[in-house]
Structure 1
């Protein structure tokens, strides 16, 4: 695609969207990523002179960023990586967040949809949610997020004789990720199990102290493949995921997954085959399924192998890049050069 001109992609740092768009910038010639701090979403668009540069032929960003960087005559592709503006998610948002969402983010999302040349979503759940909540009637093709399955891969000879079963929680320590339930889960899991948790990309605090909770602190994305290879299973008690990048990474690393039965998660995890899905906030259910996996290394291995095959088949970087390249090429062929 190097002969088609530049694709400009301004994305807020600190989340899964930035990780995915950075991957696209590394794999698609002419794709230019411009990361910014999330608070700068309120700044004027000329903060990023690249968006006015000669040769820009397409904008690819998220709904909250699209109105800032839209340029007349340049097609725009917006990708929904998540959606938290509905009434259900108000239960997991602070009052300032709710005010920001309803007074700023929701109107901008509507504007982005109205102005967009094409709209994509990273899961079928998310595409359906956008149609229901906003009443969008246009097409929303689903392009699953992709991961590098050569970097996120199983540890050679992962030990099943280790005395302690290592459980990983990967994500920001916020209510939407289910961090509020980690302490209660940790108190009730078997004594030979331990939950290791990251600080996430946007949070730096720790959970209350408990022998079964081990903070890993802030872990860079480049370090995450090694972290997965040291673990035995992934715990994801989330409330809402647009896709579930950590789940896909764990699956590619051949880990079984214990997660909430909500949003996009059932599109990734086949309950009973690649792990177990529990009702949102069901601490007892999470403890029960974790206990079963802790006591059955063979089940962990078989579920991990199932997940690895599914991740390679459906969530590979190559599949995602190919889908976006095809979308961009089709739109550029329909749009004359300025």
Structure 2
């Protein structure tokens, strides 16, 4: 690609989309992220003024507010990371979120899709779900998110006197991520098992008062491979995931995963091979599978190695960048 053919990518800082677009910017010389504070989305008509597309040959963003970044002379490519207005997830949303998702956000997304020159999705689930929820007739190409397997890998960690089985919950403490079930899952765990949680990309602070739940605090992105490698199991009880970035990162670091059997997660986790899939909200099932893994270091190792190989085969960052570059080249 010609370096003069600039690709501009306006995305909210602290989102999963920002992580993906940041990866593209680090691998494509003409790709430039324009990050903005998520609160600006409360005032969407301000968004066109936060960046200039002067010289931009292409705009790549997410569908929610893409219409506010659209320019007549610049093709628009959208990547769907997840759809917040999906029917099955509304019971885990607040009253105001439900109103927002079903009114202006749905309208904005529909308009953005109608303006798009190309529509991409990060999983088969996300592509099919957007067709169902929006009634989208346009073609949607799936490009899975990629993991830097040279960076996210099993790494040596310092020995400690802590002999407990450490279960990691990595993500924002929201209902969408299933954080509301952590205490109930912890109640059902055997002695010697602890759940540790991070505060996610948005650095949301919380205080979960439970003797088997500990806060790991905010972990810098550079330390994430060490965080994963210092734990034994990843727990992901999410109610919806457009892809499941934390799950994929943990897999690359050789962890077995206990996750919800919903949305895009089964595209990552092979049940009883790389971990276990449980019904959404079934706290007893989650605890049972964690207890099972806690009893066998060999099983944890076997599942972790399986996950690492799957990421190396299907979900590498090189594969992702190559697929995006092919799409971008069509319009440059």
TM-score bin, normalised by smaller chain:
over 0.9
Report if the CA contact (8 A) 1:166-1:194 is conserved.
Answer: yes
1:60 aligned residue? 60
- What is the rounded CA distance, in whole Å, between the counterparts of 2:159 and 2:271 in structure 1? 24
Provide Cα deviations, 1:255-289, integer angstroms capped at 9, x if missing partner. 00000000000000001000000000000100110
Report if the CA contact (8 A) 1:12-1:18 is conserved.
Answer: yes
Provide Cα deviations, 1:45-67, integer angstroms capped at 9, x if missing partner. 3422332x2x2000000011311
- What is the rounded CA distance, in whole Å, between the counterparts of 1:159 and 1:190 in structure 2? 23
1:336 aligned residue? none
TM-score where L is the length of structure 1: 0.94
Establish whether residue 229 from structure 1 lines up as the match of residue 249 from structure 2: no
Could you tell me how far 1:161 is from its partner in structure 2? 10
Report if the CA contact (8 A) 1:166-1:233 is conserved.
Answer: yes
1:335 aligned residue? none
Equivalent position SS for 2:291: helix
TM-score where L is the length of structure 2: 0.96
- What is the rounded CA distance, in whole Å, between the counterparts of 1:193 and 1:224 in structure 2? 21
Equivalent position SS for 2:263: coil
- What is the rounded CA distance, in whole Å, between the counterparts of 1:6 and 1:65 in structure 2? 20
Where do 1:12-91 residues align within 5 Å?
12-41=12-41, 42-43=43-44, 44-51=46-53, 53=54, 55-91=55-91
- What is the rounded CA distance, in whole Å, between the counterparts of 2:277 and 2:4 in structure 1? 44
- Root-mean-square deviation (Å): 1.7
- What is the rounded CA distance, in whole Å, between the counterparts of 2:101 and 2:123 in structure 1? 22
Could you tell me how far 1:137 is from its partner in structure 2? 1.1
Establish whether residue 314 from structure 1 lines up as the match of residue 314 from structure 2: yes
Report if the CA contact (8 A) 1:169-1:234 is conserved.
Answer: yes
- What is the rounded CA distance, in whole Å, between the counterparts of 1:159 and 1:317 in structure 2? 31
Could you tell me how far 1:70 is from its partner in structure 2? 0.5
- What is the rounded CA distance, in whole Å, between the counterparts of 1:129 and 1:144 in structure 2? 15
**Structure 1 gap ranges (5+):** 333-338
Where do 1:1-338 residues align within 5 Å?
1-3=1-3, 5-41=5-41, 42-43=43-44, 44-51=46-53, 53=54, 55-156=55-156, 163-202=163-202, 204-332=204-332
- What is the rounded CA distance, in whole Å, between the counterparts of 1:263 and 1:46 in structure 2? 32
Provide Cα deviations, 1:53-111, integer angstroms capped at 9, x if missing partner. 2x200000001131111001210000000012022221011011111112211000000
Could you tell me how far 1:296 is from its partner in structure 2? 0.4
